[in-house]
A = this chain, B = another copy of it.
Amino acid sequence: MSGGSLAVVGLGPGPADWLLPEAEVALASATDLVGYVPYVARVPERPGLARHATDNRVEATRARHAFALALEGRRVAVVSGGDPGVFAMAAAVVEALDAEPAFRAVPLRVVPGLSAMMAAAARLGAPLGHDFCAVSLSDNLKPWSVVLRRLTAAAEGDFVLALYNPASKARPTQIGDAFAHLRGLKAGATPVAFARAVGRPDERLHLTTLAEADPALVDMATLVLVGSSETRWVEGQGGRRWMLSPRTYGKGL
């Protein structure tokens, strides 16, 4: 190996003005892009840039391939949507490093990105203005019982909840099951927001309540935010509603 390196790079939610300058530089200096097809496709083609786009759910194979390319002397960028550390490629890359001592020869760094949670929160006002949890609803890599246990704990702590990966074609019912579970633990009037494809042309916000939340409106591109007991709606310009989790909490305690 000579000069090879591996950077795990966060592309943010999509638009160019949500890509960090550090990520832009890392992409510009890469010889090889490795990642899930739609993320690799976001990076413009240029001479000398090799593209290794793979399907979803092959993260471990992809991470090993990235290290192998770096060991051959390539400057590899593993691209991830949002922030690579949040339910994305950084963990798969560090897992690959853990499994193969030879990969320790590779200089590794993680270039952060804007996570979907922060992008959605910006559009909604301040839903994450107080303590919050992020939970992936996918049970591909953890038992569903763990998801339910964490939703219960988040409700007991009265955290605001950000639900990642709420649904997919293979898992269409879990967001409905999660809402049913949360309805047993939290007030029906709790504010809920569906933030779909934030920052992309098909962006769509849907404001509702836990009692009224319709799972049919949730897809793979949606981030679901569920308020705490103190989260509320605030009226703004032209009747626009903002979602607020106030900085103060439990004044009566």
* A225 shortest CB reach to chain B, Å: 11
Q: Which residues of B contact A21 (CB under 8 A)?
A: 16-19, 21
Is A98 in the interface zone, CB < 8 Å from B?
A: yes
Residue among B95, B150, B234 making CB contact with A247, cutoff 8 Å: B95
Is A2 in the interface zone, CB < 8 Å from B?
A: no
Is A49 in the interface zone, CB < 8 Å from B?
A: no
Is A193 in the interface zone, CB < 8 Å from B?
A: no
Residues 51-66 of A contacting B (Cβ, < 8 Å): 59
Q: Which residues of B contact A150 (CB under 8 A)?
A: 131, 157-159
A249 touching B17 by the CB < 8 A rule? Answer: no
Is A178 in the interface zone, CB < 8 Å from B?
A: no
Q: Which residues of B contact A91 (CB under 8 A)?
A: 126, 129-130, 244-247
Identify the 3 closest CB pairs spanning chains A and B, nearest first: A153-B157, A91-B129, A91-B126
